[in-house]
């Protein structure tokens, strides 16, 4: 079977990291070669750009700069890691991908969705995930989880509630528009209940 590209999305505190580990293990137990990556990041250059994007600064970053840095990291990610892995029949699981840009820079920052689409068309050369999980939960619950981590907050996590409400709404709108690819998971459930849902969806893919 041809290797698949799976992405994981959601607002801050949605529990993506925990479930990413479960998805990796599920696929590995099915005999799949799997590589796990993240955005922004995934490559040496991408990780340097990630630091620029996530480190809090005293001067706000221009929204266009943020958008272009996201796609610069993504272009490198696609060409250096994702496409080569898929060509080698290795399944790829990415913690965030282009849906995050539509949600964060489009929904959250208010950048026109068409501008994001144009950059996506240019940099991705037709690549899109085979399956996307959106872990959804109320913004307040997500923020409480972030604070409980006690790890310090990055430049995005320090944004206000309204910013994340817009992001959440954008994720749900995208899922409604593309239900075959994007599966919304209620992230307020127990970890075990979430994993039962993930297993049933992944089983159809493998």
According to the model, what pLDDT value does residue 35 have?
98
According to the model, what pLDDT value does residue 127 have?
96
Q: What are phi and psi of 4, to 5 degrees?
A: -115, 160
According to the model, what pLDDT value does residue 77 have?
98
CATH architecture of the domain with range 5-205: 3-Layer(aba) Sandwich (3.40)
Lowest mean pLDDT across 32-46, 152-166, 184-198: 152-166
Distance CA 191, CA 121 (A): 36
DSSP string, 51-112: HHHHS--SSPPPHHHHHHHHHHHHHHHIIIIIHHHHHTT-EEEEE--HHHHIIIIIIIT---
Q: What is the pLDDT of residues 30-57, one digit of tens each?
A: 999 999 999 999 999 999 999 999 998 8
Give me the residue spans of the domains in the chain. Answer: 5-205
According to the model, what pLDDT value does residue 143 have?
82
- Distances 157 to 12, 15, 164, 205 between C-alpha atoms, Å: 7, 14, 9, 33
According to the model, what pLDDT value does residue 29 have?
97
According to the model, what pLDDT value does residue 150 have?
64
For residue 189, pLDDT over 90 is answered with: yes
pLDDT band at 1 (very low <50, low <70, confident <90, very high): confident
For residue 151, pLDDT over 80 is answered with: no
According to the model, what pLDDT value does residue 19 have?
93
Angle at 107 between CA 104 and CA 110, to 5 degrees: 105
pLDDT band at 99 (very low <50, low <70, confident <90, very high): very high
* In contact, 91 and 34? CB cutoff 8 Å: yes
Average pLDDT, the chain: 93
According to the model, what pLDDT value does residue 194 have?
96
According to the model, what pLDDT value does residue 145 have?
81
Buried b or exposed e, range 18-49, using 16+ CB within 10 angstroms: ebbeebbebbeeeebebbbbbbbbbbeebeeb
Beta bridge partners of 5: 92
Distance CA 23, CA 17 (A): 10
0.85 exceeded by pTM: yes
């Amino acid at each position: 079977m041809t290797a698949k590209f799976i992405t994981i999305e959601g607002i801050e505190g949605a529990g993506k990291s925990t479930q990413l580990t479960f998805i990796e293990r599920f696929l590995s137990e099915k005999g799949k070669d799997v590589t796990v990556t993240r955005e922004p990041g995934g490559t040496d250059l991408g990780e340097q750009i990630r630091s620029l994007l996530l480190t809090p600064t005293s001067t706000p970053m221009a929204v266009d700069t943020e958008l272009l840095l996201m796609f610069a990291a993504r272009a490198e990610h696609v060409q250096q890691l994702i496409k080569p892995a898929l060509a080698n029949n290795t399944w790829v699981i990415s913690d965030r991908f282009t849906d995050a840009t539509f949600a964060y820079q489009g929904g959250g920052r208010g950048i026109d969705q068409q501008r994001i689409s144009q950059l996506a068309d240019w940099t991705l050369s037709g690549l899109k995930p085979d399956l996307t999980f959106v872990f959804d939960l109320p913004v307040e619950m997500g923020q409480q989880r972030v604070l409980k981590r006690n790890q310090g907050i990055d430049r995005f996590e320090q944004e206000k509630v309204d910013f994340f409400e817009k992001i959440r709404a954008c994720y749900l709108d995208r899922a409604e528009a593309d239900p075959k690819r994007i599966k919304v998971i209620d992230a307020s459930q127990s970890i075990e209940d979430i994993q039962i849902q993930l297993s049933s969806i992944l089983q159809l893919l493998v």
